[in-house]
Amino acid sequence: MALVEIRDVHKSFSRDAERIDVFSGLSMDIEQGSFTALMGPSGSGKSTLLNLVAGLDRPTSGTVQVGGAEVSAMSAGQLAAWRAANVGFVFQQFNLLPVLTAFQNVELPLLLTRLSRRERDERVRIALGVVGLDDRLRHYPRQLSGGQEQRVAIARAIVADPTLVLLDEPTGQLDARSSQEVLALLGRLNEEFGKTIVVVTHDPQVAARAQRQLHLDKGTFIEQASAAGAAV
């Protein structure tokens, strides 16, 4: 069953009076519970596609539906509430708030819910436990390694139990060992917790973990590959 349905999406930007078309009639589905890697050269539209799915950006025309909700038609307020409940987002540069501890960073999405302090506390501990950082609750980002920071960011993305987890170059700033840890974690989130994962990456190792690889170039899918490596 498709969780994400993108239909005839056009997206263009204006830069210095020049119009740049990123997508011209893009359509695609992402199955629920799948692990999808979006690959392609810089400027191919990977991050833009991720932003459209997360409701951070709007298509010039066409529709984006996630879990039956038409994201592209929501107001800003509706989108904020929808994102809080349905989407977890992980950035290349971690983007943890430096003035908050690991616990407080992970708690942020829960502040938008009606959960009690005790329930929030419990969920944060579980999320940090899943990423293996339940002994770093009171640490500030500056006291963590890059890999640990990214794992805190992943805990923040999953703490509200969203259906969809979107990651933009999650291993781009990490060393090989930390990358492996993050990849193992993503695999676990997908297989054990059933999260639908969409990851933008340049890293073939990350892509190799995905069940499906989509290669974008100039806003068009040029190749799709399954986990077995065969073009489909």
Partner 1 sequence: MRFVGLLRANLGRHKRRTLLTMASVALALFLFASLRTVVTTLHAASQFGSARRLVTTNATGLVFPLPVAYANRIAASPGVEKVSWANWFGGRYGDGKRFFATFAVDAKSYLDLYPEMSVPQDQKEAFLADRSGALIGRRLLDVFGWRVGQNITLQGTIYPGDWTFTVRGVYTPTDKSINDDAVMFHWQYLDERTGRQGTTGWYIFGIDSAQNAPRIGKAIDEGFRNSSAPTKTGTEQSFNASFATMWGNVSLLMNTIGMAVVFAILLVAANAMMMSARERGREVAVLKTIGFSDRRLFALVLAEAGFITITGAAIGLGAAKVLYRATNFSAGGMLPGFDVTASTLGVGALVALFLMLASGVVPAVRAARLPVVAALRNVE
Binding site for partner 1 (CB under 8 A): 47, 51, 54, 56-57, 76-77, 80-85, 87, 89, 91-93, 95, 97, 99-100, 104, 108-109, 111-112, 117, 156, 160, 168
Q: Are strands 220-226 and 212-217 parallel, antiparallel or unpaired?
A: antiparallel
**Encoded amino acid at 86, one letter:** N
Which is closer to partner 1, CB of 5 or CB of 57?
Answer: 57
Joined tokens for residue 104: 């407080």
**Nearer to partner 1 by C-beta: 136 or 156?**
156
In the complex, minimum distance from the CB of residue 200 to partner 1, in angstroms, rounded to a whole number: 11
Cα R_g (the chain), whole angstroms: 18
Shorter beta-carbon distance to partner 1: residue 4 or 22: 22
Which residue, 97 or 222, has its beta carbon nearer to partner 1?
97
Helix (H, G, I), strand (E, B) or coil at 25: strand
Give residues with Cβ within 8 angstroms of 57, minimum separation 6. Answer: 11, 48, 51
Q: What's the rounded Cα separation, in Å, for the pair 174 and 130?
A: 19
Residues near 58 by Cβ (< 8 Å), separated by ≥ 6?
Answer: 52, 72
> Starting at the edge strand that comes first in sequence, how are the strands of the sheet with 69-70 ordered?
18-31, 2-15, 61-66, 69-70
User: Rounded to 5 degrees, what are φ and ψ at 206?
Assistant: -65, -45
Cβ atoms of 10 and 220 within 8 Å: the answer is: no
Residue 120 CB, nearest approach to partner 1 (Å): 8
Nearest distance, CB of residue 78 and partner 1, angstroms: 9
Compute the least distance from the CB of residue 157 to partner 1, in Å. 9
Kindly tell me which of 69 and 108 has the beta carbon lying closer to partner 1: 108
Instruction: Give backbone dihedrals phi and psi of 74, rounded to 5 degrees, phi first.
Output: -80, 150
Closest approach, Cβ 104 to partner 1, in A, equals 6
CB of 51 to partner 1, least distance (A): 5
CB of 23 or CB of 225, closer to partner 1: 23
